[in-house]
Amino acid sequence: MSTAFLYSIIALLTIAVVALLLRRSHGDDAPETNSRQEFANGLWESQGLGLAERILDPSDYFWLRDELGFPALAESLRDHRRHLALKWLNAVRSSFSEVVRTPEAASQSRTIGDTADSWQLLGATLRFHLLLSYAIVVVRFFGPYHRLIPSFTWMGAPWRVLPQSELERGSGLRRSA
Amino acid sequence: MVLPLTAAALTYILGIAILVRAWQGKLFSRFSFFYSYLIYLLGTGVIMNLVDFLDGRHYPLVFWLRFLTLVVAEFALLVEIGDHIFAPYPAIRNLGRLVTVAMTLVFSTVYVIPSFYLHRPSSVAVLDLVMRSAVTKCAVLVALLVVARFYGVRPSKTVAGLALGLALYLAVNTANFALAESYGRELYGPIFSTIGPLSQALCVLIWTVALWRPEPDMEPARAVAAPREFSEPLPNRLGKFNTVLTRLFRK
Protein backbone atom coordinates (compact mmCIF):
# COMPACT_ATOMS: atom_id res chain seq x y z
CA MET A 1 0.00 0.00 0.00
CA SER A 2 2.70 2.47 1.05
CA THR A 3 4.90 1.29 -1.86
CA ALA A 4 2.09 1.96 -4.34
CA PHE A 5 1.56 5.41 -2.83
CA LEU A 6 5.29 6.16 -3.00
CA TYR A 7 5.56 5.12 -6.66
CA SER A 8 2.42 7.07 -7.56
CA ILE A 9 4.05 10.17 -6.06
CA ILE A 10 7.24 9.44 -8.05
CA ALA A 11 5.14 9.15 -11.22
CA LEU A 12 3.38 12.47 -10.61
CA LEU A 13 6.66 14.17 -9.76
CA THR A 14 8.26 12.84 -12.95
CA ILE A 15 5.53 14.27 -15.16
CA ALA A 16 5.62 17.61 -13.32
CA VAL A 17 9.43 17.91 -13.44
CA VAL A 18 9.69 16.93 -17.11
CA ALA A 19 6.92 19.36 -18.09
CA LEU A 20 8.57 22.11 -16.03
CA LEU A 21 12.03 21.49 -17.50
CA LEU A 22 10.70 21.48 -21.04
CA ARG A 23 8.56 24.56 -20.48
CA ARG A 24 11.39 26.52 -18.88
CA SER A 25 13.82 25.39 -21.53
CA HIS A 26 11.61 26.93 -24.17
CA GLY A 27 11.04 30.09 -22.16
CA ASP A 28 14.62 31.28 -21.84
CA ASP A 29 14.98 32.87 -25.23
CA ALA A 30 16.21 36.17 -23.82
CA PRO A 31 19.89 36.77 -24.56
CA GLU A 32 22.32 37.61 -21.79
CA THR A 33 22.30 41.19 -20.64
CA ASN A 34 24.81 43.53 -22.29
CA SER A 35 26.78 44.24 -19.13
CA ARG A 36 27.18 40.54 -18.42
CA GLN A 37 28.29 39.87 -21.99
CA GLU A 38 30.80 42.75 -21.85
CA PHE A 39 32.18 41.39 -18.59
CA ALA A 40 32.51 37.90 -20.08
CA ASN A 41 34.03 39.04 -23.40
CA GLY A 42 37.48 40.04 -22.13
CA LEU A 43 37.81 37.29 -19.56
CA TRP A 44 40.34 35.20 -21.47
CA GLU A 45 42.49 38.08 -22.67
CA SER A 46 45.57 39.20 -20.77
CA GLN A 47 43.70 42.07 -19.11
CA GLY A 48 40.98 39.76 -17.80
CA LEU A 49 43.49 37.18 -16.61
CA GLY A 50 45.54 39.88 -14.93
CA LEU A 51 42.40 40.98 -13.08
CA ALA A 52 41.79 37.41 -11.91
CA GLU A 53 45.36 37.10 -10.66
CA ARG A 54 44.97 40.32 -8.69
CA ILE A 55 41.73 39.13 -7.15
CA LEU A 56 43.37 35.87 -6.06
CA ASP A 57 46.67 37.42 -4.99
CA PRO A 58 46.87 37.56 -1.15
CA SER A 59 49.75 40.08 -0.95
CA ASP A 60 47.39 43.07 -0.33
CA TYR A 61 45.68 41.15 2.43
CA PHE A 62 48.96 40.26 4.16
CA TRP A 63 50.26 43.80 3.71
CA LEU A 64 47.16 45.26 5.40
CA ARG A 65 47.13 42.69 8.17
CA ASP A 66 50.81 42.22 8.98
CA GLU A 67 52.64 45.35 7.88
CA LEU A 68 50.02 48.05 8.50
CA GLY A 69 48.30 46.22 11.38
CA PHE A 70 44.68 46.48 10.27
CA PRO A 71 43.33 42.92 10.69
CA ALA A 72 39.69 44.00 10.55
CA LEU A 73 40.24 45.93 7.33
CA ALA A 74 42.17 42.97 5.93
CA GLU A 75 39.24 40.67 6.71
CA SER A 76 36.88 43.09 5.02
CA LEU A 77 39.16 43.12 1.95
CA ARG A 78 39.20 39.33 1.99
CA ASP A 79 35.39 39.16 2.05
CA HIS A 80 35.17 41.64 -0.78
CA ARG A 81 37.73 39.66 -2.79
CA ARG A 82 35.82 36.45 -2.12
CA HIS A 83 32.71 38.07 -3.59
CA LEU A 84 34.70 39.30 -6.61
CA ALA A 85 36.34 35.90 -7.11
CA LEU A 86 32.97 34.16 -7.09
CA LYS A 87 31.63 36.70 -9.57
CA TRP A 88 34.64 36.11 -11.81
CA LEU A 89 34.29 32.32 -11.59
CA ASN A 90 30.60 32.54 -12.48
CA ALA A 91 31.47 34.76 -15.43
CA VAL A 92 34.05 32.18 -16.50
CA ARG A 93 31.37 29.51 -16.33
CA SER A 94 29.00 31.62 -18.50
CA SER A 95 31.77 32.34 -20.98
CA PHE A 96 32.70 28.67 -21.17
CA SER A 97 29.06 27.65 -21.64
CA GLU A 98 28.90 30.06 -24.59
CA VAL A 99 31.81 28.20 -26.17
CA VAL A 100 30.22 24.83 -25.43
CA ARG A 101 26.98 25.98 -27.00
CA THR A 102 28.73 26.94 -30.23
CA PRO A 103 26.89 24.93 -32.88
CA GLU A 104 28.84 22.78 -35.30
CA ALA A 105 28.28 24.96 -38.37
CA ALA A 106 29.50 28.04 -36.54
CA SER A 107 32.50 26.52 -34.80
CA GLN A 108 34.13 25.54 -38.11
CA SER A 109 34.65 22.04 -36.75
CA ARG A 110 32.81 19.96 -39.26
CA THR A 111 35.73 17.56 -39.13
CA ILE A 112 34.81 16.68 -35.54
CA GLY A 113 32.52 13.94 -36.72
CA ASP A 114 34.86 11.32 -35.39
CA THR A 115 33.58 9.64 -32.26
CA ALA A 116 36.94 9.54 -30.49
CA ASP A 117 37.34 13.30 -30.99
CA SER A 118 33.84 13.91 -29.68
CA TRP A 119 34.63 11.95 -26.53
CA GLN A 120 37.87 13.91 -26.08
CA LEU A 121 36.00 17.18 -26.37
CA LEU A 122 33.45 15.96 -23.86
CA GLY A 123 36.29 14.97 -21.52
CA ALA A 124 37.81 18.45 -21.77
CA THR A 125 34.41 20.04 -21.11
CA LEU A 126 33.71 17.90 -18.06
CA ARG A 127 37.24 18.41 -16.72
CA PHE A 128 36.80 22.16 -16.92
CA HIS A 129 33.47 22.03 -15.11
CA LEU A 130 34.91 19.78 -12.42
CA LEU A 131 37.82 22.13 -11.83
CA LEU A 132 35.59 25.19 -11.86
CA SER A 133 33.06 23.67 -9.45
CA TYR A 134 35.89 22.69 -7.10
CA ALA A 135 37.30 26.22 -7.29
CA ILE A 136 33.88 27.76 -6.54
CA VAL A 137 33.42 25.48 -3.51
CA VAL A 138 36.91 26.28 -2.17
CA VAL A 139 36.53 30.05 -2.69
CA ARG A 140 33.05 30.08 -1.16
CA PHE A 141 33.96 28.11 1.95
CA PHE A 142 37.66 28.82 2.47
CA GLY A 143 38.12 32.22 0.83
CA PRO A 144 39.98 33.43 -2.27
CA TYR A 145 43.46 32.96 -0.79
CA HIS A 146 43.17 29.30 0.00
CA ARG A 147 45.46 26.94 -1.88
CA LEU A 148 43.38 25.04 -4.43
CA ILE A 149 46.02 22.37 -4.94
CA PRO A 150 47.10 21.02 -1.51
CA SER A 151 50.65 21.96 -0.53
CA PHE A 152 51.50 18.84 1.52
CA THR A 153 53.81 20.92 3.78
CA TRP A 154 52.22 19.31 6.82
CA MET A 155 53.54 15.93 5.70
CA GLY A 156 57.14 16.62 6.71
CA ALA A 157 60.62 17.08 5.28
CA PRO A 158 60.44 15.36 1.86
CA TRP A 159 57.51 17.54 0.86
CA ARG A 160 59.02 20.85 1.98
CA VAL A 161 60.72 21.28 -1.38
CA LEU A 162 57.46 21.17 -3.31
CA PRO A 163 55.76 24.42 -2.23
CA GLN A 164 58.88 26.44 -2.96
CA SER A 165 59.14 25.15 -6.52
CA GLU A 166 55.42 25.60 -6.99
CA LEU A 167 55.75 29.14 -5.66
CA GLU A 168 58.56 29.91 -8.08
CA ARG A 169 56.62 28.54 -10.97
CA GLY A 170 53.57 30.56 -9.89
CA SER A 171 55.54 33.79 -9.60
CA GLY A 172 57.09 33.16 -13.01
CA LEU A 173 53.60 32.73 -14.41
CA ARG A 174 52.49 36.02 -12.86
CA ARG A 175 55.47 37.89 -14.28
CA SER A 176 54.79 36.50 -17.75
CA ALA A 177 51.13 37.53 -17.51
CA MET B 1 -13.59 -3.53 -22.26
CA VAL B 2 -14.64 -0.74 -24.64
CA LEU B 3 -12.12 1.77 -23.30
CA PRO B 4 -8.98 -0.41 -23.74
CA LEU B 5 -10.11 -1.37 -27.24
CA THR B 6 -10.74 2.26 -28.19
CA ALA B 7 -7.34 3.24 -26.76
CA ALA B 8 -5.62 0.42 -28.69
CA ALA B 9 -7.40 1.44 -31.92
CA LEU B 10 -6.37 5.07 -31.36
CA THR B 11 -2.76 3.96 -30.83
CA TYR B 12 -2.80 2.11 -34.16
CA ILE B 13 -4.41 4.97 -36.09
CA LEU B 14 -2.03 7.56 -34.68
CA GLY B 15 0.98 5.26 -35.03
CA ILE B 16 0.23 4.66 -38.70
CA ALA B 17 -0.31 8.41 -39.19
CA ILE B 18 3.15 9.07 -37.69
CA LEU B 19 4.72 6.52 -40.02
CA VAL B 20 2.96 7.97 -43.07
CA ARG B 21 4.16 11.47 -42.14
CA ALA B 22 7.68 10.12 -41.68
CA TRP B 23 7.50 8.48 -45.10
CA GLN B 24 6.38 11.75 -46.68
CA GLY B 25 8.99 13.80 -44.86
CA LYS B 26 11.79 11.21 -45.23
CA LEU B 27 12.35 11.20 -41.48
CA PHE B 28 13.18 7.53 -40.92
CA SER B 29 16.94 8.06 -40.90
CA ARG B 30 16.72 11.07 -38.58
CA PHE B 31 14.84 9.24 -35.80
CA SER B 32 15.86 5.68 -36.68
CA PHE B 33 15.51 4.21 -33.17
CA PHE B 34 12.18 5.89 -32.62
CA TYR B 35 10.59 4.67 -35.86
CA SER B 36 12.02 1.17 -35.36
CA TYR B 37 10.44 1.16 -31.91
CA LEU B 38 7.11 2.35 -33.27
CA ILE B 39 7.08 -0.21 -36.09
CA TYR B 40 7.95 -2.94 -33.59
CA LEU B 41 5.23 -1.72 -31.19
CA LEU B 42 2.54 -1.76 -33.89
CA GLY B 43 3.75 -4.91 -35.67
CA THR B 44 4.05 -7.05 -32.56
CA GLY B 45 0.69 -5.67 -31.39
CA VAL B 46 -0.93 -7.11 -34.50
CA ILE B 47 0.85 -10.45 -33.98
CA MET B 48 -0.24 -10.49 -30.34
CA ASN B 49 -3.89 -9.94 -31.30
CA LEU B 50 -3.65 -12.65 -33.95
CA VAL B 51 -2.29 -15.10 -31.36
CA ASP B 52 -5.14 -14.14 -29.04
CA PHE B 53 -7.64 -14.73 -31.85
CA LEU B 54 -6.15 -18.05 -33.04
CA ASP B 55 -4.87 -19.62 -29.82
CA GLY B 56 -5.59 -17.74 -26.58
CA ARG B 57 -3.45 -20.07 -24.45
CA HIS B 58 -0.22 -18.56 -25.75
CA TYR B 59 -1.39 -14.97 -25.36
CA PRO B 60 0.17 -14.30 -21.88
CA LEU B 61 3.56 -15.60 -23.06
CA VAL B 62 3.51 -13.47 -26.23
CA PHE B 63 2.28 -10.45 -24.25
CA TRP B 64 5.12 -10.60 -21.73
CA LEU B 65 7.76 -11.33 -24.39
CA ARG B 66 6.64 -8.30 -26.36
CA PHE B 67 6.40 -6.14 -23.27
CA LEU B 68 9.87 -7.04 -22.01
CA THR B 69 11.50 -6.39 -25.40
CA LEU B 70 9.74 -3.02 -25.52
CA VAL B 71 11.05 -2.25 -22.03
CA VAL B 72 14.61 -2.79 -23.30
CA ALA B 73 13.97 -0.91 -26.56
CA GLU B 74 12.87 2.15 -24.58
CA PHE B 75 16.47 2.58 -23.42
CA ALA B 76 17.49 2.96 -27.08
CA LEU B 77 14.78 5.60 -27.38
CA LEU B 78 16.35 7.48 -24.48
CA VAL B 79 19.75 7.34 -26.21
CA GLU B 80 18.17 8.82 -29.32
CA ILE B 81 16.46 11.62 -27.37
CA GLY B 82 19.79 12.41 -25.67
CA ASP B 83 21.60 12.40 -29.02
CA HIS B 84 19.12 14.83 -30.53
CA ILE B 85 19.29 17.21 -27.56
CA PHE B 86 23.10 17.53 -27.68
CA ALA B 87 23.88 16.68 -31.33
CA PRO B 88 24.33 20.26 -32.65
CA TYR B 89 27.05 21.03 -30.09
CA PRO B 90 30.39 19.26 -30.79
CA ALA B 91 31.77 19.84 -27.28
CA ILE B 92 28.94 17.92 -25.60
CA ARG B 93 27.70 15.77 -28.47
CA ASN B 94 28.15 12.52 -26.54
CA LEU B 95 26.87 13.89 -23.23
CA GLY B 96 23.41 12.36 -23.76
CA ARG B 97 24.92 8.90 -24.23
CA LEU B 98 27.18 9.33 -21.23
CA VAL B 99 24.30 10.39 -18.98
CA THR B 100 22.04 7.58 -20.24
CA VAL B 101 24.66 4.85 -19.83
CA ALA B 102 25.94 6.13 -16.47
CA MET B 103 22.46 6.53 -14.96
CA THR B 104 21.35 3.14 -16.29
CA LEU B 105 24.41 1.44 -14.83
CA VAL B 106 24.00 3.12 -11.45
CA PHE B 107 20.27 2.40 -11.20
CA SER B 108 20.73 -1.17 -12.44
CA THR B 109 23.38 -1.83 -9.82
CA VAL B 110 21.72 -0.29 -6.79
CA TYR B 111 18.04 -0.55 -7.65
CA VAL B 112 17.07 -3.05 -10.37
CA ILE B 113 19.47 -5.99 -9.91
CA PRO B 114 18.99 -6.28 -6.09
CA SER B 115 15.29 -6.98 -6.72
CA PHE B 116 16.27 -10.28 -8.42
CA TYR B 117 17.41 -11.63 -5.07
CA LEU B 118 14.05 -11.13 -3.35
CA HIS B 119 12.00 -14.30 -2.90
CA ARG B 120 8.46 -13.87 -4.22
CA PRO B 121 6.07 -15.23 -6.87
CA SER B 122 7.26 -14.81 -10.47
CA SER B 123 4.22 -12.70 -11.44
CA VAL B 124 5.05 -10.17 -8.71
CA ALA B 125 8.74 -10.27 -9.67
CA VAL B 126 7.95 -9.40 -13.30
CA LEU B 127 5.68 -6.51 -12.25
CA ASP B 128 8.41 -5.25 -9.94
CA LEU B 129 11.09 -5.54 -12.64
CA VAL B 130 9.01 -3.56 -15.15
CA MET B 131 8.21 -0.93 -12.54
CA ARG B 132 11.86 -0.52 -11.52
CA SER B 133 13.00 -0.25 -15.11
CA ALA B 134 10.32 2.39 -15.72
CA VAL B 135 11.60 4.36 -12.72
CA THR B 136 15.16 4.05 -14.08
CA LYS B 137 14.06 5.41 -17.46
CA CYS B 138 12.18 8.28 -15.78
CA ALA B 139 15.35 9.14 -13.86
CA VAL B 140 17.44 9.04 -17.05
CA LEU B 141 14.98 11.31 -18.85
CA VAL B 142 14.91 13.82 -15.99
CA ALA B 143 18.73 13.72 -15.80
CA LEU B 144 19.02 14.41 -19.54
CA LEU B 145 16.75 17.43 -19.27
CA VAL B 146 18.50 18.73 -16.15
CA VAL B 147 21.91 18.46 -17.83
CA ALA B 148 20.55 20.17 -20.95
CA ARG B 149 19.20 22.93 -18.74
CA PHE B 150 22.58 23.25 -16.98
CA TYR B 151 24.31 23.86 -20.32
CA GLY B 152 21.54 26.16 -21.55
CA VAL B 153 20.71 23.76 -24.38
CA ARG B 154 17.12 23.80 -25.61
CA PRO B 155 15.63 20.66 -27.14
CA SER B 156 13.59 21.34 -30.28
CA LYS B 157 9.81 21.09 -29.97
CA THR B 158 9.93 17.73 -31.75
CA VAL B 159 12.43 16.23 -29.30
CA ALA B 160 10.60 17.87 -26.37
CA GLY B 161 7.39 16.18 -27.56
CA LEU B 162 9.10 12.80 -27.81
CA ALA B 163 10.49 13.24 -24.28
CA LEU B 164 7.16 14.39 -22.85
CA GLY B 165 5.23 11.50 -24.42
CA LEU B 166 7.74 8.95 -23.17
CA ALA B 167 7.82 10.51 -19.69
CA LEU B 168 4.04 10.35 -19.45
CA TYR B 169 3.96 6.73 -20.58
CA LEU B 170 6.76 5.69 -18.20
CA ALA B 171 5.31 7.57 -15.24
CA VAL B 172 1.86 6.04 -15.72
CA ASN B 173 3.51 2.62 -16.12
CA THR B 174 5.38 3.12 -12.85
CA ALA B 175 2.23 3.93 -10.90
CA ASN B 176 0.16 1.28 -12.71
CA PHE B 177 2.62 -1.54 -12.04
CA ALA B 178 3.15 -0.46 -8.41
CA LEU B 179 -0.62 -0.47 -7.82
CA ALA B 180 -0.95 -3.88 -9.55
CA GLU B 181 1.80 -5.27 -7.35
CA SER B 182 0.16 -3.92 -4.19
CA TYR B 183 -3.50 -4.75 -4.85
CA GLY B 184 -3.20 -7.98 -6.86
CA ARG B 185 -4.86 -9.25 -10.02
CA GLU B 186 -8.38 -9.74 -8.60
CA LEU B 187 -8.76 -6.23 -7.25
CA TYR B 188 -6.69 -4.17 -9.68
CA GLY B 189 -6.67 -6.38 -12.83
CA PRO B 190 -9.49 -4.62 -14.76
CA ILE B 191 -8.09 -1.14 -14.04
CA PHE B 192 -4.56 -2.32 -14.91
CA SER B 193 -5.63 -3.55 -18.33
CA THR B 194 -7.38 -0.23 -19.03
CA ILE B 195 -4.67 2.16 -17.82
CA GLY B 196 -1.90 0.48 -19.89
CA PRO B 197 -3.48 1.00 -23.35
CA LEU B 198 -4.74 4.45 -22.33
CA SER B 199 -1.25 5.64 -21.37
CA GLN B 200 0.13 4.23 -24.61
CA ALA B 201 -2.55 6.02 -26.65
CA LEU B 202 -1.86 9.30 -24.85
CA CYS B 203 1.87 8.90 -25.45
CA VAL B 204 1.40 8.22 -29.18
CA LEU B 205 -0.99 11.21 -29.38
CA ILE B 206 1.73 13.51 -28.00
CA TRP B 207 4.26 11.99 -30.42
CA THR B 208 1.87 12.60 -33.32
CA VAL B 209 1.59 16.28 -32.44
CA ALA B 210 5.37 16.56 -31.98
CA LEU B 211 6.23 14.82 -35.24
CA TRP B 212 3.50 16.30 -37.43
CA ARG B 213 5.70 19.24 -38.39
CA PRO B 214 9.16 18.19 -37.22
CA GLU B 215 11.62 20.94 -36.35
CA PRO B 216 15.38 20.75 -36.91
CA ASP B 217 17.41 20.01 -33.76
CA MET B 218 18.61 23.60 -33.81
CA GLU B 219 16.70 26.59 -35.11
CA PRO B 220 18.48 27.99 -38.22
CA ALA B 221 18.46 31.52 -36.76
CA ARG B 222 20.30 30.36 -33.65
CA ALA B 223 22.88 28.43 -35.67
CA VAL B 224 23.63 31.49 -37.81
CA ALA B 225 23.74 33.87 -34.86
CA ALA B 226 26.28 31.83 -32.95
CA PRO B 227 29.70 32.48 -34.61
CA ARG B 228 30.62 35.77 -32.84
CA GLU B 229 34.34 36.36 -32.52
CA PHE B 230 35.46 32.73 -32.37
CA SER B 231 38.18 32.00 -34.88
CA GLU B 232 40.15 29.22 -33.17
CA PRO B 233 39.02 25.62 -33.60
CA LEU B 234 36.88 24.35 -30.75
CA PRO B 235 39.35 21.72 -29.37
CA ASN B 236 42.03 24.42 -29.07
CA ARG B 237 39.68 26.75 -27.24
CA LEU B 238 38.61 24.05 -24.77
CA GLY B 239 42.23 23.10 -24.18
CA LYS B 240 43.16 26.74 -23.62
CA PHE B 241 40.36 27.21 -21.09
CA ASN B 242 41.52 24.17 -19.13
CA THR B 243 45.20 25.17 -19.20
CA VAL B 244 44.58 28.77 -18.17
CA LEU B 245 42.28 27.82 -15.30
CA THR B 246 44.64 25.13 -14.02
CA ARG B 247 47.63 27.49 -14.14
CA LEU B 248 45.71 30.28 -12.48
CA PHE B 249 44.80 28.17 -9.48
CA ARG B 250 48.19 26.51 -9.07
CA LYS B 251 49.36 29.35 -6.91
Which residues of chain B neighbour A132 with C-beta distances below 8 Å? Answer: 245
Q: Which residues of chain A have pLDDT under 70?
A: 1, 24-42, 44, 104-116, 147-177
Higher pLDDT, B93 or B223: B93
**Residue B240 within any structural domain of the chain:** no
**Residue B242 within any structural domain of the chain:** no
Q: Test B226 with A99 for CB contact under 8 angstroms.
A: no
Q: What is the pLDDT confidence band of residue B186, given thresholds at 50, 70 and 90? A: confident
Give me the pLDDT at residue A166, please. Answer: 44
- Our CA-based measurement puts residue B21 at a distance from the nearest CA of chain A, in whole angstroms, of 24
For residue B25, pLDDT over 80 is answered with yes
Closest partner residue to B226 (CB to CB) among A56, A103, A127 is A103
Closest partner residue to A56 (CB to CB) among B181, B226, B251 is B251
Q: Considering only CA atoms, which of B207, B208, B196 is closest in space to residue B71? A: B196
Contact partners, residue A172, CB within 8 Å, separation at least 6: none
Contact partners, residue A73, CB within 8 Å, separation at least 6: A64
Give me the pLDDT at residue B62, please. Answer: 87
**Residue B44 within any structural domain of the chain:** yes
What average pLDDT does chain B have? 86
Give me the pLDDT at residue A114, please. Answer: 56
For residues B171 and B176, give the distance between their C-alpha atoms in angstroms, rounded to a whole number. 9
CA dihedral B116, B121, B124, B126 (to 10 degrees): 50
* Total domains, chain B: 1
Residues found in chain A: 177
**Residue B237 within any structural domain of the chain:** no
Tell me which residues of chain A, numbers 60 to 89, contact chain B at a CB-CB cutoff of 8 Å: none
The identity of residue A115, as a single letter, is T
**Residue B235 within any structural domain of the chain:** no
Q: Is B104 on the interface with A (CB under 8 A)?
A: no
Q: What is the ipTM of this complex?
A: 0.85
**Residue B101 within any structural domain of the chain:** yes
For residue B224, pLDDT over 60 is answered with no
For residues A145 and A139, give the distance between their C-alpha atoms in angstroms, rounded to a whole number. 8
Which residues of chain B neighbour A53 with C-beta distances below 8 Å? Answer: 248
Contact partners, residue A137, CB within 8 Å, separation at least 6: none
CA distances from B204 to B71, B199, B207 (A): 16, 9, 5
Give me the pLDDT at residue B82, please. Answer: 94
**Residue B231 within any structural domain of the chain:** no
Domain that holds residue B102: 2-225
Q: Rounded to a whole number, what is the distance in angstroms from the first to the last CA of chain B?
A: 73
Determine the 3-state secondary structure of B195 from DSSP.
helix
**Residue B248 within any structural domain of the chain:** no
For residue B143, pLDDT over 70 is answered with yes
